[in-house]
Amino acid sequence: MSESTGYLGHGTAAERWERAQLFFEAKEYATAARILDPLAGEAPEQLATRLLLARAYYHSAQLGRAEAEPRGILERWPVEHYAQLMLGRTLERQGRAAEAAPYLRIAAAMSGEFPQE
């Protein structure tokens, strides 16, 4: 039995969302991502699902996916400040600080955080 037809993929979208949140809260990030990935594919307009998926990828060290998901979010919602922050942090974690800097600055400005002079 594959994961998509097994326990993790069983149930309504709402049930799978709740299950993914439970795994995320239990710090079972890779398992949460396995639940969230098909959910995000079924309903790409659901921002919360995609943000949690990006976080699950980041915390489970799936950094290529953790980079791709916020980029996809920003294509659809360019003013989503949390996606800006997640992309910047993911790039930093990959040792790409110069590339991360503009995303982190945008996220800070969008959330009202400005450097003290």
pLDDT, residue 84, reads: 96
Report the pLDDT averaged over residues 10-35: 95
pLDDT over 90 percentage in the chain: 82
pLDDT digits (tens, 9 = 90+) for 77-94: 999 999 999 999 999 999
CB-based contact 33:3 (threshold 8 Å): no
Decide if pLDDT at 117 tops 60: no
> What does the pLDDT read at residue 1?
33
User: Torsions phi, psi of 25, nearest 5?
Assistant: -60, -30
Asked whether 63 and 44 are in contact (CB, 8 A), the reply is no
Confirm if 49 and 17 have CB atoms less than 8 A apart: yes
Residue 115 pLDDT exceeds 90? no
Side chain identity at 75, as an amino acid letter? E
Using the Cα atoms of residue 44, residue 46, residue 48 and residue 49 in order, give the sign of their dihedral.
negative
pLDDT digits (tens, 9 = 90+) for 23-46: 999 999 999 999 999 999 999 999
| First CA to last CA distance, the chain | 59
Name every residue whose Cβ is closer than 8 Å to that of residue 34 and which is 6 or more positions away in sequence. 3, 8
pLDDT given for residue 53 in this prediction: 98
pTM: 0.87
